[in-house]
Amino acid sequence: MSESSHAASGTLQPLPMSAYQKDLDTLEVAGLTLHGITRGGIETCLMVKELRLMFDIGMCPPGFQKYRDVLVSHGHADHMGGIGYLISHRRMVGARPPRLHVPVEVVEPVRRILAAWAEIEGHEPPFHLYGHAPGEAFDSGKSITATPLRTAHRVPSLGWVIERRSQRLLPEFADLTGPEIGEKRRQGVTITSTHQEPLLCVTGDTKIEFFKEHEIVRRCRVLVHEVTSYDDRCDVERTRHWGHTHIDELVEVAEQFTGEALVLVHRSARHSRKQAEEVVAQKFPAAMRDRIHVFGW
Ligand SMILES: [Zn+2]
Ligand SMILES: [Zn+2]
C-alpha cells in the first residue's frame, strides 16, 4: 500500500502484530532481560533494557526505538544493515541522535553509506558515530562501563563486555554503625573501594578463540555467545573457515565458564530451536546444563 492510500483513509491505523514481532525472543536471566532476534546470516539485534543498551542493529526490529546507545560488533549486513533506517527514524520521531559505537575500521565506510542515504533522502539526520579499537572502554552512564575486545572473525569485529561499578565498604570498617561511617566520611577517611563486576558479554560473531583468550569473558554473569553450527552439515573446520563457533568447540571448554548463564545465539537457519536444545541436552556436562539457554526462535 502506498502512503497516499493511507492518507486517503484519513488516519493511520496501528499495524497488526507482524510475523516479525513473533520472531523476537525474550529471556530473563541473572537480573537482565535479553530481547531481540539473532539468527546467523539473517539478523542479529539484542536489546537489554536494564542497561539501556542495544547490541547490533539487525534490520531495526520492533522496540529498537527505545535505545539511543548501540554497541555494534562488526559490519556484516545481518548485524548492521538497518543503520540508515535507525538514524532516519529517530530524526523522524524527534528522538535525540543515536550514539553508535562501532569498530574503528568501519567508521569511514559507514560515513560514506550514511552520506549516500542523506543524499537520497534529501536531508542529513544527525547521529554520533564513535570508532573503538579493542580495549578502548567508555562510560555509558549509570556506573556502567563498556569495553570492546577483539574477536576472531573474518572482518574487524568486537565483543562487548559490560561492567557495573559500585562502592564497597573496606573490610576494616565493616563493623561500624551508620553514624560512625558518617563521621569517618566527614573526617575525609577513605572507607570504600570501587568494585567492578562483569555483568554481561555479547560476543558478536567469533571463533571459539575469543572465549579461550579472555579470562573476563568466562566470568561474566551472563555470556551471550554465538554458536552458529549444531551438527556436521557444517562441521568444525568449515564453521571455523567462516569465522564462527561450532557447538562441539564450546562443549570442550564450557566448564571454564563460571558465570550464571551461558546464552547461545546466532544459530544458523539450518537448525531449529528444538534441535539445538536437544544437542545442548546431549552434549553439555550435566552439572552445567541448567545454566545454558538457547536463544531465538
Ligand atoms: Zn553474523
Ligand atoms: Zn559476521
Q: How confident is the model over 97-140, as pLDDT tens digits?
A: 999 999 999 999 999 999 999 999 999 999 999 999 999 999 98
Please tell me the predicted confidence (pLDDT) of residue 97: 97
Ligand with an atom nearest the CA of residue 265: 1
Ligand with an atom nearest the CA of residue 267: 1
Please tell me the predicted confidence (pLDDT) of residue 49: 97
Please tell me the predicted confidence (pLDDT) of residue 235: 97
pLDDT-derived band at 9 (thresholds 50, 70, 90) equals: very low
Please tell me the predicted confidence (pLDDT) of residue 17: 53
pLDDT-derived band at 181 (thresholds 50, 70, 90) equals: confident
Using the 8-state DSSP alphabet, how is residue 212 labeled? Answer: H
Using the 8-state DSSP alphabet, how is residue 265 labeled? Answer: E
Please tell me the predicted confidence (pLDDT) of residue 141: 84
φ, ψ of residue 291 to 5 degrees: the values are -95, 0
Instruction: Answer yes or no: is pLDDT of 2 > 80.
Output: no
Instruction: Answer yes or no: is pLDDT of 173 > 60.
Output: yes
pLDDT-derived band at 22 (thresholds 50, 70, 90) equals: low
In order of 37, 260, 278, the CA distances from 220 in angstroms are 21, 8, 25
Query: Which of the two residues, 64 and 18, has the higher pLDDT score?
Result: 64
pLDDT-derived band at 158 (thresholds 50, 70, 90) equals: very high
Instruction: Answer yes or no: is pLDDT of 13 > 60.
Output: no
Listed in sequence order, the residues at least 6 apart from 287 whose beta carbon sits closer than 8 Å to its beta carbon are none
In order of 7, 74, 137, 154, 219, the CA distances from 206 in angstroms are 46, 10, 20, 8, 18
Instruction: Answer yes or no: is pLDDT of 15 > 90.
Output: no
Distance of CA 56 from the midpoint of ligand 1 (Å): 10
Mean pLDDT of the region 67-83: 97
Distance of CA 177 from the midpoint of ligand 1 (Å): 53
pLDDT-derived band at 52 (thresholds 50, 70, 90) equals: very high
Please tell me the predicted confidence (pLDDT) of residue 275: 97
Distance of CA 73 from the midpoint of ligand 1 (Å): 9
Ligand with an atom nearest the CA of residue 269: 1
Distance of CA 111 from the midpoint of ligand 1 (Å): 21
Sort strands 158-169 and 292-294 into parallel, antiparallel or unpaired: unpaired
Is residue 185 helix, strand or coil? helix
pLDDT-derived band at 168 (thresholds 50, 70, 90) equals: confident
Is residue 57 helix, strand or coil? coil
Ligand with an atom nearest the CA of residue 266: 1
Using the 8-state DSSP alphabet, how is residue 187 labeled? Answer: T
- Whether residue 118 contacts residue 148, with contact meaning beta carbons closer than 8 Å, is answered with no
Is residue 41 helix, strand or coil? coil
Distance of CA 26 from the midpoint of ligand 2 (Å): 22
Q: For residue 151, what is its C-alpha cell? A: 574477536
In order of 54, 57, 151, 262, 293, the CA distances from 254 in angstroms are 26, 28, 17, 9, 13
Q: For residue 170, what is its C-alpha cell? A: 573496606
Rounded Cα distance, 253 and 256, in Å: 6
Ligand with an atom nearest the CA of residue 155: 2
Please tell me the predicted confidence (pLDDT) of residue 19: 55
pLDDT-derived band at 142 (thresholds 50, 70, 90) equals: confident
pLDDT-derived band at 269 (thresholds 50, 70, 90) equals: very high
Q: For residue 92, what is its C-alpha cell? A: 523522524
Please tell me the predicted confidence (pLDDT) of residue 178: 86
The mean-pLDDT minimum among 70-74, 84-88, 123-127, 182-186 falls in 182-186
Q: Which residues pair with 131 in a beta bridge?
A: 102
Q: Which fold has domain 20-294?
A: Metallo-beta-lactamase; Chain A (3.60.15)
Rounded Cα distance, 49 and 142, in Å: 13
Query: Which of the two residues, 177 and 99, has the higher pLDDT score?
Result: 99
- The domain locations on the chain are 20-294
Arithmetic mean of pLDDT over the chain = 92
- DSSP H or E run through 281: helix 273-283
Rounded Cα distance, 86 and 84, in Å: 6
Instruction: Answer yes or no: is pLDDT of 217 > 90.
Output: yes
Rounded Cα distance, 5 and 252, in Å: 57
Distance of CA 41 from the midpoint of ligand 1 (Å): 5
**Max CA pair span of the chain:** 73
Mean pLDDT of the region 200-216: 98
